[in-house]
Structure 1
């Protein structure tokens, strides 16, 4: 089985990606990150319609299903500019700061996190995935929290081909959403 990689190629994202190396880099990451999270969550957020009967009409509202939880796991010191406004739009999402440089730090960060395997969705967010630290987090989530690879989603603005290959080798059922893949010269 191969890794599910979804390369998001919205025209606005492409324009922002070309400007990422220029000035206002943080602002470009902010918009790209917001659009990336939007694309990922539009498949996973469960919406319920609530109907309210009034005297002369019926009003309805779309609300997030309260029985499901959505978690964003990220190192906030690296991704704050990407996710700082997501709580404004979706206050039901729990953003958990994780230092996943090593297993000990991961354990400190999420040892008390309660995850319902049937209902909860996990999204790991990074700006750039170029090393194996994300694999440490996935390994911890699988071993200690008993999550299945298919229940973990990774969202990153830029992904390294080498890192994606390593993730695919160990966790082929993961879903990775990215806007750009960096290929190494061989």
Structure 2
């Protein structure tokens, strides 16, 4: 079975992502507005198939009012390095109000990401700007073995990802969904 890799090809997403990738490689000052906009666009693209909206109709004496509400039973856990990606995730609460952030340092192998929460209650989004190390494998292993998480409820999002990591994930966890802008 093959890994589900979704490349985000929208021109605006591509342009903003390129600017952020270029800034990192050339150590230039970041434009926080570009990162916020990119975060909103990426999460919009990923969540439009995952979010469920309930339409409620309220009949009043002389009018019919319609409201659109997010499914209140769905909870989302975003696992990310908050220090590196706070700008990108700054406005995600606007489109995903029932979401919680959990800090993970993908670069520090000694960092403890284990948590006591019942993770099976959440749809999990793992966000890493530049997926370039195998720490993601440890996280997926932990989620599946210790929490019996259904990997259909886990999505990985990154601006760029390493081809070798994708190959390894494809062999071990072919049911994962990975959203990226560029594969290195």
Deviations 1:15-60 (A, max 9, x none): 2233231455343333222211111111111111111112211111
Matches within 5 A, 1:1-186: 1-20=1-20, 21-22=22-23, 25-27=30-32, 28-100=34-106, 101-102=108-109, 105-107=112-114, 110=115, 112-116=116-120, 120-182=122-184
Please report how far the alpha carbon of residue 88 of structure 1 lies from its aligned counterpart in structure 2 after TM superposition: 3.1
Q: Which blocks of at least 5 consecutive residues in structure 1 are unaligned?
A: none
Q: Which blocks of at least 5 consecutive residues in structure 2 are unaligned?
A: none
* Residues 19 and 116 of structure 1, relative CA distance in 2, 3 Å threshold: closer
Aligned pairs, number: 177
Q: Report the aligned-residue RMSD.
A: 1.9
Please report how far the alpha carbon of residue 149 of structure 1 lies from its aligned counterpart in structure 2 after TM superposition: 2.4
- Secondary structure, in 3 states, of the residue corresponding to 1:121? strand
CA distance in 2, matches of 1:116, 1:142: 10
Give the TM-score normalised by structure 2.
0.87
Give the TM-score normalised by structure 1.
0.86
Contact 1:19 1:25 in 2 (8 A): no
Deviations 1:52-87 (A, max 9, x none): 112211111111111121221112112111101111
Please report how far the alpha carbon of residue 103 of structure 1 lies from its aligned counterpart in structure 2 after TM superposition: 7.1
- Secondary structure, in 3 states, of the residue corresponding to 1:96? strand
- Secondary structure, in 3 states, of the residue corresponding to 2:181? strand
CA distance in 2, matches of 1:150, 1:89: 21
- Secondary structure, in 3 states, of the residue corresponding to 1:25? coil
CA distance in 2, matches of 1:25, 1:172: 35
